[in-house]
Amino acid sequence: MTEQQGSTAIRTQAVVDMLAYWTRLREAVQDVPEKRAFDILDLSPALLPHLFVCSIRHDPFEVWFSLQGSWLTESFNQHFTGKRLDHGTMGDFAEVCLTWIARMCETGEPNYSREVMTSMSGQSVEVECIRLPFKKGGDRVEHMVGAVIPLDPDNMSLSLGWGAGDGDWEIRSMNGE
């Protein structure tokens, strides 16, 4: 697994469980698993509000949100389903996210990051993000399943009032990328 923060270790059981689930799927086929092998019912119901699913297009490289959990919708105050990951949805952080996702596609390995999301009002929440690659009947990664999990249980329902394009938010990785 590619870790975006060097020595940062996974801290939430939900991320550990999600990575273990993907690893079992991979071991069954000795390769990046097919998206059809992914069954949302195999995940803990507590994880579902934090889940996101994306389609990945190549030539040109684009990432489109297919599904977004309710915690993400409420925390970001924006619904990304059906939208492309770009400056309009993620602001300046889009470039960093796309770099991580491109690396995941190239290596076929999951990647993980720890990030701080901060609203202009000063509310912050530290989160872990896991991104898992899936193929769709070919050799390229064409789907990603991931989750954004707050590290502080008290922030599980924190609304950041986040809205791309409004200049009222910031997301940064723990190593300043």
Q: What are the tokens at 36?
A: 């059809």
Give Cα separations from 134 to 67, 114, 127 (angstroms).
15, 22, 23
User: How far is the C-alpha of 165 from the C-alpha of 89, rounded, in Å?
Assistant: 8
- Look at residue 2 and tell me if it is in a domain: no
- pLDDT classification of 2: cutoffs 50, 70, 90: very low
Residue 48 has pLDDT above 90, yes or no: yes
Q: What are the tokens at 83?
A: 């939208």
- Look at residue 151 and tell me if it is in a domain: yes
Single-letter code of the amino acid located at 20: A
**Residue 53's domain spans which residues?**
9-35+47-166
Give CA angle at 17 (105, 147), nearest 5°.
50
Place of tokens 């770009």: 86
Instruction: Give the tens place of pLDDT for each residue, 128-167.
Output: 899 999 999 888 999 999 999 988 766 544 444 333 333 3
How many domains does the chain contain in total? 1
Q: What is the CATH number of the domain that holds 78?
A: 3.30.450.20
- Look at residue 19 and tell me if it is in a domain: yes
- Look at residue 18 and tell me if it is in a domain: yes
Its pTM stands at: 0.81
CB atoms near residue 5 (< 10 Å): 16
For residue 22, which of 7, 5, 42, 6 has the smallest C-alpha distance?
42
- Look at residue 174 and tell me if it is in a domain: no
- Look at residue 162 and tell me if it is in a domain: yes
Is the pLDDT higher at 112 or at 174? 112
- Look at residue 176 and tell me if it is in a domain: no
Least confident of 40-49, 108-117, 153-162: 153-162
Residue 174 has pLDDT above 70, yes or no: no
Q: Are 118 and 102 in contact (CB under 8 A)?
A: no
